[in-house]
Chains A and B, each alone.
Chain A
Amino acid sequence: MKNFYLKIIIFLLIILATYLSVERYYSYTQNKNFTIINQRHSVIIQLPNTGYIEIVGRNDHITSDTVNEKPFSTNTKLIKNSNLENSIARTNTHTEYIENDENIRSLSLTPLSNEHIKVEIDTDTKYTYQENLYYNIQLDYTNKVDFKIEGNRVEYSDKGCNVIVEGQNLQYKISENSQSVILSKKYEPKISFIFNLNIECNK
């Protein structure tokens, strides 16, 4: 009887393990809707339509009626995992760590599937609190596009690719040149921006 149950467990485990392996292999080898380039001073999400989304720490800005500061306009330290020859670099997550004296910003970008990327940006900055002070990050796109803001998401389409930015507790604005989405949160010394990028392109 025990042998019978063990055989069933083995069979089920084999089926589950095979499924997980095939699924992992499939998501590893299939053509993704994007390529992440984590070099130099920005993180770029390259789309198959030749356009790309760029997240640059230098463009972060803190604004109010009287303030307009860029906490990472220069940096004193920049570390990316893409060119690290050690064990930490072997995760699926692309990371960027920036310091500008006391200000710290860390970004992690994790592809969840071939269409979804989870983005998390944590900032630790030291500015005096004011009313209506906001921390803003910017997602720049190569072309002018027609952004549509609907609730907690922003959507646009360009040359066969449809991109949705979807987050919680974020405010969205579109830049004057219609090339960037600005994500804002009320200023606090430590802020986390967590959002998903959903990218779907025609094959």
Chain B
Amino acid sequence: MFDLIAILSNLGIIIYLIFTLFTGGLESFSSNYIFIGYLVFTIFTLPYLISKVLFKARLVSLTTALTFFYFPIQFLFTYLVSRITGFSLGELLPFTTLFNLLLWNLLFIYFVLSDEKSGDRSEKTIKNISAAILPGILFTLFASISIRQTDSVVALDYLQHLTVPNRMFFNDVICFLPGQCSNLFLQHGYTTFYHIILGHIITFLGNDPIKSIYVIDVLYPVIASIPLFYIFKDLTKSTIWSQLGVLLTLLVFVMGGYDFVFFLPQTFALMFFLMIFRKQRLSKKQLLLATLLLIPTHFIIGTYFSVFLWVRHILLRNIDRKREIKIYYLLLAISLIFFVLANIAGFSVEKLIQGDAIKVIGSLTNPYYPNNLTVFWQILGPIWLFILVIFVTNFLERKVSSVYINALTYIFMISIVYFLAPTYANKFTIGVGFFSVLLLLKFLSSVRMGIFLKSFVLTSLVVIFATNFYIQYNRYLTFYTQENGVVSAITEEDKEIVKYLNEERTSATILSDPYTQLIIASLTNTDTANAQYMSLDTRKNLLNYLTSPTLQSYEALITSPGIPRNDNFDILYTSRIYRAISSNDNAWIYNIYSLSINNSQKIGNISEELIKDMERTGRYPIYISDNFILFR
């Protein structure tokens, strides 16, 4: 039955898309939610199918994770073909995405039909996948209805990352590190593995980036449910408990880590980590392969996960005696207490040894005592009390399961790193939701409860997790809430400049406020002066020039970091700049993350001196809208 439902659903979507092709034309696909959703689902699940059908591996396994290498290998192959045949990447890449859609369908049909006579394993697999994604669907409905607005983009990271596939696609270049083809990355944090997948979903078929990002956010938790479900199923052997585990894990909003809320390099690494983590005993060779997968996905978080896997392999699986466990738990607790106290006393890695990074950013990146304790508490809220009780009861137990040891080690590890406070310490709390739920489920399933108490506990847990998630997510959205109540990084006014620059393409670098530069860089593939990471010196010099345009201030501007030395740049005067000048609001020149989202205040009269000085440099004003004047 599940086979049939899957085939019919897929067929239904294909018929719908063919119908849309005839009624709306090929162009209508770029903003069609069903098409984008289908693309997202097929791209993310293609490696599962390849792994299952071609490698005969378990659905959620190291092999599946490694199969994601299919995308960069395919990209390299396309690049080679492009060099040999003379076709540009822009001409070839759309066919690779279409090929992936076709391949998915072929593998899917083969998967469903090939084993009809030999036990029909596909029926069982699809049944399990349906059970796995059900809590994901419930979660996404909850988030979409009660928290997110349609077509909202609520992570600037997406815009930043989008510049990489755009550049590879439009400029016919191949980049192994994002910084090689985009100047929006201050440091090399990952390879372009993630960006190639993002390109398949958004860039290569020319899909509407705003709609695509929204659809990714809607579907990514659903896809992440699959590895989560299989891990919980291994643990609990119960479908309902596993579904609860998936739902609770998704209902943890990790500020900075974003676990399953957004598709970002670190959350991509988390998904791989889960697939690998599922297998309790990995050989050294497998661990090495896992490390080779995780590190390119995210140099820091991937390494962090790899270290944990190696620690599990070398240390944790050898701790099994009562005395050893007690000593180990004691060491964990003492270490954490030590680092918390050190943090309270003023110690932090970012203050002590990351001074240069802090100088570039303009301020510390972490909250400090007592705010950091509040922020940490809010990740799980009252669920921390359960973790504490589980730790204490575990400490007193005679025999302890490895699940407890692994999960508690991970939770202590993230806590210690958080209180060591390197830059962006919040990011290191990634995965805490999964391990907390793992602990919780293991603990609850070890207690014999009647049906009444069990139902009460399960319902209460969903309420507790959902409440915390709702508040955390909404608090996160504060920055993205515009003056008119719309919650999105993209303002209506900004669409004018995007439209203009997409029609009037330019090779010149656009120099503007950092936020506008980010919008332009990501949505129009135009060069900017490091977009949102525009250096503080350049910001100061730009503001200084726009307020008092003189020869000296112009000289200071053109010699600032990020400005092309060949004078090939246009200055875009925006409402954001106008507001900053008219209300003397210059916070954005002191902190790299100080950005103004609103661009609604109409630009009044700008000074004659500025227009004259711009004319002196050969730039004349083009009035694009009430909110943008381009000096070109």
Could you list which residues of chain A lie within 8 angstroms of chain B, going by C-beta atoms?
Answer: 3, 6-7, 9-11, 13-14, 16-18, 20-22, 24-25, 28, 39-41, 77-80, 83-93, 97
Contact = CB atoms under 8 A, between A and B. Distances in A.
Interface of B: 156, 255-256, 362-367, 371, 374-375, 381-383, 385-386, 389, 393, 424-427, 444, 447-449, 453, 456-457, 460-461, 463-464, 467-468, 470-471, 474-476, 478-479, 532, 583-588, 590-591, 593-597
Contacts of B467: 21-22, 24-25
Contact of A85 (B156, B382, B385): B156
A86 B447 CA distance: 41
Given A40-B585, A79-B362, A25 B385 contact: no
Contact of A90 (B383, B464, B475, B588): B475
Contact of B587 (A20, A80, A89): A80
Nearest to A89: B479
A93 B373 CA distance: 13
13 contacts: A9-B393, A10-B444, A17-B381, A17-B460, A21-B382, A21-B463, A79-B363, A83-B588, A84-B363, A87-B255, A87-B426, A90-B255, A90-B475
Contacts of A6: 393, 447
Contact of A21 (B389, B464, B587, B591): B464
A55 B257 CA distance: 35
B367 A88 contact: yes
A85 B595 contact: yes
Contacts of A90: 255, 367, 375, 426, 475-476
Contacts of B425: 87
A78 to B, nearest CB: 5
B594 A83 contact: yes
Contacts of B597: 83
Cβ-closest 5 pairs across A and B: A17-B382, A87-B426, A21-B467, A86-B593, A20-B382
Contact of B424 (A14, A18, A87): A87
Contacts of A3: 447-448
Contacts of A83: 479, 587-588, 594-597
Contacts of A85: 156, 479, 532, 593, 595
Given A87-B426, A88-B364, A90-B475, A14 B457 contact: yes
B367 A79 contact: no
B583 A40 contact: yes
A14 B596 contact: no
A117 to B, nearest CB: 15
Binding site secondary structure of chain A: helix
Contacts of A7: 447, 449, 453
A84 B475 contact: no
A17 B464 contact: yes
Nearest to B460: A14
Contacts of A21: 381-382, 463-464, 467-468
B363 A88 contact: yes
B471 A14 contact: no
Contact of B593 (A10, A22, A25, A84): A84
B366 A87 contact: yes
A127 to B, nearest CB: 25
Contact of B385 (A16, A88, A91, A92): A16
Contacts of B382: 16-17, 20-21
Instruction: From B364, B425, B447, B586, name the one whose CB has the most chain A CB atoms within 10 angstroms.
Output: B447
A83 B425 CA distance: 20
A28 B471 contact: yes
A87 B256 contact: yes
Given A6-B447, A10-B447, A85-B532, 20 more contacts: A17-B383, A17-B385, A17-B460, A21-B382, A21-B467, A24-B381, A41-B585, A77-B590, A78-B586, A79-B362, A79-B587, A79-B594, A83-B587, A83-B588, A84-B363, A87-B375, A88-B364, A88-B365, A90-B375, A91-B375
Nearest to A110: B371
Contacts of A16: 382, 385
A3 B444 CA distance: 11
B471 A24 contact: yes
A10 B464 contact: no
B470 A25 contact: yes
A24 B447 CA distance: 29
A83 B532 CA distance: 13
Contact of B374 (A20, A91, A97): A91
Contact of B389 (A9, A24, A92): A9
A52 to B, nearest CB: 17
A22 B460 CA distance: 11
A18 B463 contact: yes
A11 B404 CA distance: 21
Contacts of B255: 87, 90
Contacts of B586: 78
A182 B449 CA distance: 61
Contacts of B426: 87, 90
Instruction: From B371, B584, B596, name the one whose CB has the most chain A CB atoms within 10 angstroms.
Output: B371
A79 B478 CA distance: 17
B371 A93 contact: yes
A31 to B, nearest CB: 15
Nearest to A24: B471
A80 B363 CA distance: 11
Contacts of B583: 40
A189 to B, nearest CB: 19
A181 B470 CA distance: 39
B191 to A, nearest CB: 24
A92 B468 CA distance: 14
Nearest to A41: B584
Contacts of B256: 87
A40 B365 CA distance: 21
A79 B424 contact: no
A181 to B, nearest CB: 26
Contacts of B363: 79, 84, 88, 97
A17 B593 contact: no
Nearest to A6: B447
